[in-house]
Amino acid sequence: MAIEVNQDLATTLGGSLLPEGVYQTTEEIPNDRVLLFTADGLRYTVTKEIQPNVVFRYLRNLRKLGDTEALAHLLHDVLGEDVMDVLAENTQLTKEEFRAVMRAAQKHTMGAAQDLMGN
C-alpha cells in the first residue's frame, strides 16, 4: 500500500462500503472535509474544522502522556475508528508512510488551534 500524503499538511511538525471520510478517487470530496492522504486509489480525509476539545485533549495528552501517545490518541480522534482499523490492518505500511500520516494529522490539528486563536 503506497501512501501519498497531502504535502500541504505533511511539511511541518476492502469492501464496497467505505469508512466515513474515505472516498474513491472518482468521488468528490465534500466541502467540509480536506484531503489528508491517498492510498490504493482511496482518498482519506479529515474535517476542515477541528473542534476545540480535540485540540485541548491533544495538548493535555502531550503533557500527561508524552509526544508519541498523544499523537496516537490524536490520530484516532482525527481519523476515526474505521480508518484507524484500515491502517492498523495494513501490513505493507512503511515507517516513512506512518510518520507522514502522523505528521499530517498533527499539522492539521495545530493549524486548527491557530485558527481558533485567530492567528
Q: How far apart are CA 96 and CA 73, in angstroms?
A: 19
**pLDDT (tens digit per residue) in 34-75:** 888 887 788 888 888 888 899 899 899 999 999 889 988 988
The per-residue b/e assignment along 79-97, b for 16 or more CB within 10 angstroms, e otherwise, is bbeebbebbeeeeebeeeb
Q: Quote the pLDDT of residue 38.
A: 82
pLDDT (average), residues 14-42: 80
pTM of the model: 0.68
Q: How far apart are CA 7 and CA 30, in angstroms?
A: 20
Q: What is the mean pLDDT of the chain?
A: 80
